[in-house]
Amino acid sequence: MDIFGYGVANKSKSGEILDVHFSSIFFGNKKIELPKYKINSDSKQIIELNWNQKNLEMPIENVIDSYFKLHLLSNKFVLPNTINLDGLFSSLPNVAWTNIGPVSIAEIEDNLNLAKYESRDFYIKSLDKFPCLTDYIVPKKVRIADSRRVRLGAYLGEGTTVMHEGFVNFNAGTLGKAMIEGRISAGVIIGNNSDMGGGSSTMGTLSGGNENVISVGENCLLGANSGTGISLGNNCIVEAGLYITAGTKITRINNNKDEKVLKAIELSGESNLIYIRDSVSGKVIAKNNEKRSSLNETLHKND
């Protein structure tokens, strides 16, 4: 498969590439193609890439590779966890993201000081390796209440709504309509018609020793301030305030009233379960879920 990218990079005064915006990408039979313009500054550089499938499987070696793979994810040419992102963090520089674009950390104080003397509007949005998604890509049929909370490299399915407190990391996202009022950590995928309540979260794999890549299936509900460190199958509910880790002891109750105590990881990926905490005994219980979660269609018709 032939893969081609064309874009423009911003450079620091020392010539360091700070970021790359890929305005045209050809990915097999799929493509995006925006107008090309001449560059008129020494601080910019035209970038062209010719890749194939092997490049997707190779570790990242530089800033250009990093931004191309992040663009492939956010343009939905590839799914999260399907391309090699090893080397991403070590390749990306920490950058001051400002209202006039990226600025090298080594140059930011001079820029800020000069702006004050010249009475120019200059402010720093963040100091980070990752910019926000909408500085590069505006996804179709998606609502994002606070674009600062969705990183470049996020994968957002059509019909997704990310509310003000929702957060979507790189190499993570939604596969269809979803209500996101919680945090989707790197590597986590949320299935169609699922709802992450306010303050809910999914456990990531970037630090803390967790090695299990989490996914949430279709028609699931994570209640407010709940969380999961195991994968949920389809049609699952985690009650508000309950955080399930891989080692949480779960009392599994079947319809025939049989009880069995398991570690939560043993239920990872199982469908049609509701997780609750018994308010008297304090036990965490998993029982068959007879309900079906559904989203408000009007809220997710994001045309």
Spatial contact of 180 and 192, defined as CB atoms under 8 Å apart? no
Residues paired with residue 196 on neighbouring β-strands, in sequence order? 180, 222
Residues sharing a CB contact under 8 Å with residue 127, sequence separation 6 or more, in sequence order: 94, 95, 96, 97, 105
Q: Is 37 left (phi over 0), alpha (psi -120 to 50) or beta?
A: beta
Q: Residue 124's CB: how many other CB atoms inside 10 A?
A: 13
Catalytic residue among 57, 158, 181, 239: 181
Q: Residue 89's CB: how many other CB atoms inside 10 A?
A: 12
Spatial contact of 191 and 221, defined as CB atoms under 8 Å apart? no
The 8-class DSSP code of residue 59 comes to P
Residues sharing a CB contact under 8 Å with residue 162, sequence separation 6 or more, in sequence order: 142, 143, 144, 145, 146, 149, 150, 156, 168, 180
Q: Does residue 181 carry a catalytic annotation?
A: yes
Q: Residue 211's CB: how many other CB atoms inside 10 A?
A: 7
Q: Which of 144, 158, 238 is nearest to 193 (CA)?
A: 158
Which residue has tokens 């874009």? 7
Spatial contact of 31 and 125, defined as CB atoms under 8 Å apart? no
CA-CA distance, 44 to 3, in Å (whole number)?
23
Beta strand 273-277 with 284-288: parallel, antiparallel or unpaired? antiparallel
Q: Maximum CA pair distance of the chain?
A: 76
Catalytic positions: 181
